[in-house]
Amino acid sequence: MAEAPPNRVFLPDIRGGDQYLRATWHPESATIVFSHWNGEVCMASTPVALTDCVELIELQVRSLSQLADRRLAPAAAPIPPGTMDRLRTLLRPKLADVVDATARFLPHGRSDGRQRIRDL
């Protein structure tokens, strides 16, 4: 894109490609024309009276202010030591109890669970 004249601003579309917004000041009519371009083709335009641009400027100032506030906001408080261990303990699934099944499944006198399983 060529360098813009002093009465014109080109703003690239953040989605990329060859699309952009062009804002042009027209002092003879006290308007700013916002036009949408795709390459060399104007897709749409909206002339806005300079006096009506106050709301647009206020929106931009509020947006910049909010962005600055976020960048200047203090960092979140660090997580107290041990908090993550407590959370892991609370959220960890309970494991099954380990029981001695030999008394239940083996006849008296047998101590080898594998032998009993083969007998089934």
Q: Average pLDDT over the chain, rounded to whole?
A: 79
Q: Are 65 and 72 in contact (CB under 8 A)?
A: no
Is 28 inside a domain boundary?
A: yes
pLDDT one-digit tens code per residue, 17-29:
899 999 999 999 9
pLDDT in tens, 72-109: 666 666 667 777 777 777 777 776 666 666 666 555 55
Is 103 domain-assigned?
Answer: no
- Would residue 79 count as lying in a domain? no
Instruction: Indicate the number of domains in the chain.
Output: 1
Q: What is the pTM of this model?
A: 0.53
The pLDDT score that the predictor gives to residue 23 is 95
* Structural domain containing residue 11: 1-52
Nearest alpha carbon to residue 19 among 34, 39, 1, 33: 39
Residue 7 located in a structural domain: yes
